[in-house]
Amino acid sequence: MSATSAAAQRRAGLSREEAKALAERVLALSTADEARVNIRGSISGSTRFALNQITTSGDSADTTVTVTSAFGTREASASTNRLDDEGLREVVARSERLARLTPENPERMPELAPQEYVSVPAYFESTASLDAERRARVAEQAMAPASERGLQAAGFLDLSAGSTAVANRNGLFAFHEDSDVAYTLTVRTAAGDGSGWAGGAHNDFSKIDTAAVAERALEKAIRSRGAQPVPPGAWTVILEPAAVANLLSLMFLGFSARILGISARAADEGRSFFSRPDGGNRIREKLFDERVTLVSDPTDPELLDRPFDDDGLPLRHVVWVEGGVLRNLAYGRFWAQKQGKEPTGFPSSLRMMGGDASLDEMIASTERGIFVTRFWYIRAVDPRTLLYTGLTRDGTFLIENGRVTRAVQNLRFNESPALMLSRLEALGPAVRVSAEEAGGRGEAIIVPPLKIRNFTFTSVSEAV
C-alpha cells in the first residue's frame, strides 16, 4: 500500500493528538502529588486453523487507560477501558484512593521530567489491514497443499495494530504507533508419525513469506516420519534460529529475564547467574565465546521496538554482551540510582550478531550431531546456573558424517543457555524469528543459527 493511501486510511488505535487529549483529560482530574497515565489503544485479529480447516477467527478492539497516582511515596495504579468522563473520573479516584491507603514505598522513584525519544516507524498498513478474508487466504495457502499431500496443517496468524502513550504532570509525553504480526504453522502426517514447524514474525506483514513458511513446515513433516531414538547424553547440536531464540529469550526478554536473567539487582544481591561469589556482579567478565555479541536497539529496522518503557524512560541502544564480555546488566530506575548507574530499563527486543557459516556448512562440518528445529515447554530448573529443561519438537534430525541422515525421536534437555554460549562452534546469519512457544507475536528477536558442542540431553520422548 502506498504512503498516500495508508495516510488517508484511519489508523488503528489513537492518533498522537487523540492520545494527548485523552491523557490531558485524565491528568486534569488528578489531585495527587504526582500522576502518570499509560494508554494503549489497539485492534487485534487472528485466525487459527487445524486439520486443514479454520477453527476460530476473531477481531477485537480495546483501549485501556492506566492511572498511577502518588502521594509522597505512596503509589498505586488503576486501569479501565471506560473512556467517558465518568469512567475517567472513576479510575483517577480509584488510583488515588488506593494510593492514599497504601504504605510508603521507600523504593518509589519520582515521575520523570520530559524526555527526548527517537521516532520508530513501526506501524504498517500491510499488518493492520489483514482482515478475516485475507487471513483465511493465508491459511488456505498451507491447508490446500497439506490436504493434497495427505498431511494436516494447523496454524495461527495473529496481528495487533495501534498506539501506546505515556504522559505525566511534569509534561512528559511519549507516543508510539506499532503493528505486529506472527504466523506459525505445524504440519503433521495423517498417521501422526511426522511433524514439522515453521514460522515468522515482523511488524510488517509483507516481510513474512507465508508460502515459504508453508513449504518448510510441509517438508519437515514429511522428512520427520519414522523417527528412531538416539541415546541421550552430550551432543553436538545445530540449532535453527527459532531454537536459539527460544533459549536466549529466557535470559534477556520478558518476565524470566527480570527474575532470573539480566537483572542487575538480582546479580548484586547474590541471587543470579551474574552474581560474583564474593559479592557484586560479573560486568566486564568474559563469560561467553568471543563471537557472542548481544544488543538491544529499538531503532533496529528489523526490530522496530517501542523506544520507551512504561515510566516513559527512553530505551536506547544497549550492548549487553560484546565479544563474549558482559558489558551491561539491566538497571531499573531505583537500582540505577542506588548503584550510581544510568538506568537501562529492561529490553523488549534483542539482536544476537550472526556469523558467516551457512546451515549447510555447519552440517557438513559435523561428524555426528542433532539438528533442532525448535524447543518446547522450557522451564527454569536451577537459577544458579540458569539451568532450564525442555524438549525438541517438530523436526529433529540426526547428522552423520556431514549429512542429515534420518529423523530422530525428540529429546529432553537440561542445559543452561548461558553456559551453552561458551561452547560455540559456529554461527550463521542472523534472522528475525517467531520465538514465543504460544506462537503469538511475543518480543522481537533476531538470532543466528548456532552450532554448539556438548549440549546435554537427558532422556528420549516418543512424542511426535
Partner 1 sequence: MPPGEGTAIDRREFVKLAGAAAGGAAAVSLPHRRLAALAAPSLRRPTLDPAIKELALLALDAAKSAGASYADVRIGRVQTESIQTRDDHIAGLSSEETFGFGVRALAGGAWGFAASRLVERDEVVRVARRAAAQAKANARYVRVPVRLAPVDAYPDVEWHTPVEIDPWSISLEEKVDLLLKANAEAMRVAGVRVVTSSLFFHREEKTVATTDGTLVFQTLVRSSPQVSVTAVGRGEFQTRQSAEVPPAARGYEHVLGARLVENAGRWAEEAVQKLTAKPVEPGLYTLVLDPSHLWLTIHESIGHPTELDRALGYEANYAGTSFLAPPDGVLGRLRYGPELMNVQADRTQAGALASTGWDDEGVPADRWLLIKDGVFADYQTTREQVAWIAHLTGVQRSHGCSYAQSWRHIPFQRMPNVSLLPGAEDITLEDIIADTDAGIYIVGDGSYSIDQQRYNFQFGGQVFYEIEDGRIAGMLKDVAYQARTVDFWNSMDRIGGPRSYFVGGSMFDGKGQPGQINAVSHGCVPARFRNVTVLNTGRGER
Within positions 368 to 387, which residues make up the interface with partner 1, using CB under 8 A? 376-385, 387
Are the beta carbons of 38 and 80 closer than 8 angstroms?
no
Residue 66 or 224: the one with the smaller Cβ distance to partner 1 is: 66
Rule CB under 8 A: choose which of 298, 390, 395, 448 binds partner 1. 390
Kindly tell me the sign of the dihedral angle through the C-alpha atoms of 317, 318, 319, 320.
negative
Which amino acid, residue 373?
T
CB-based burial label for 353 (10 Å; 0-12, 13-18, 19+):
middle
Residue 302 or 437: the one with the smaller Cβ distance to partner 1 is: 437
Q: Quote the CA–CA distance of 206 and 210 in Å, as a whole number.
A: 9
> Rounded to the nearest whole angstrom, what is the least distance from the CB of residue 323 to partner 1 in the complex?
26
Window contacting partner 1 (CB under 8 A); options: 22-30, 112-120, 222-230, 453-461: 453-461
Return the closest-CA partner of residue 256 out of 114, 378, 160.
Answer: 378
- 15-44 binders of partner 1 (CB under 8 A): 44
Which amino acid, residue 305?
D
Residue 316 or 453: the one with the smaller Cβ distance to partner 1 is: 453
Are the beta carbons of 443 and 416 closer than 8 angstroms?
no
Residue 120 or 159: the one with the smaller Cβ distance to partner 1 is: 159
Rule CB under 8 A: choose which of 30, 38, 42, 95 binds partner 1. 95
Residue 95 or 224: the one with the smaller Cβ distance to partner 1 is: 95
Rule CB under 8 A: choose which of 75, 177, 180, 300 binds partner 1. 75
What nine digits make up the cell of 330? 539491566
- 318-347 binders of partner 1 (CB under 8 A): none
Return the closest-CA partner of residue 318 out of 336, 351, 296.
Answer: 296
Window contacting partner 1 (CB under 8 A); options: 77-85, 167-175, 206-214, 312-320: 77-85
Site string for partner 1, 116-155 (x = CB under 8 A): ----------------xx--x--xx--x---x----x-xx
Rule CB under 8 A: choose which of 80, 115, 299, 337 binds partner 1. 80
Rule CB under 8 A: choose which of 15, 102, 337, 365 binds partner 1. 102
Window contacting partner 1 (CB under 8 A); options: 8-16, 275-283, 284-292, 350-358: 275-283
User: Is 104 a binder of partner 1 (CB under 8 A)?
Assistant: yes
Site string for partner 1, 174-213 (x = CB under 8 A): ----------xxx-x---x--x-x----------------
> Rounded to the nearest whole angstrom, what is the least distance from the CB of residue 64 to partner 1 in the complex?
7
User: Is 283 a binder of partner 1 (CB under 8 A)?
Assistant: no
User: Is 358 a binder of partner 1 (CB under 8 A)?
Assistant: no
> Rounded to the nearest whole angstrom, what is the least distance from the CB of residue 8 to partner 1 in the complex?
22
Q: Quote the CA–CA distance of 162 and 13 in Å, as a whole number.
A: 4
> Rounded to the nearest whole angstrom, what is the least distance from the CB of residue 398 to partner 1 in the complex?
19
- 215-274 binders of partner 1 (CB under 8 A): 269-271
Q: Quote the CA–CA distance of 453 and 191 in Å, as a whole number.
A: 34
CB-based burial label for 28 (10 Å; 0-12, 13-18, 19+):
exposed
Quote the DSSP letter at residue 147: H
Residue 271 or 316: the one with the smaller Cβ distance to partner 1 is: 271
Looking at the DSSP bridge assignments, the partners of residue 407 are: 397
> Rounded to the nearest whole angstrom, what is the least distance from the CB of residue 152 to partner 1 in the complex?
6
- 40-69 binders of partner 1 (CB under 8 A): 44, 46-64, 66
- 425-444 binders of partner 1 (CB under 8 A): 437-440
Name all contacts of 356-361 with Cβ < 8 Å and 24+ positions apart: 356/427, 356/428, 356/429, 357/426, 357/427, 357/428, 357/451, 358/428, 358/429, 359/238, 359/240, 359/428, 359/449, 361/426
Number of residues that bind partner 1 (CB under 8 A): 103
Quote the DSSP letter at residue 275: B
Residue 404 or 419: the one with the smaller Cβ distance to partner 1 is: 419
CA distances from 258 to 61, 246, 250, 300 (A): 30, 16, 9, 22
Q: Quote the CA–CA distance of 40 and 49 in Å, as a whole number.
A: 29
Q: Quote the CA–CA distance of 177 and 41 in Å, as a whole number.
A: 10
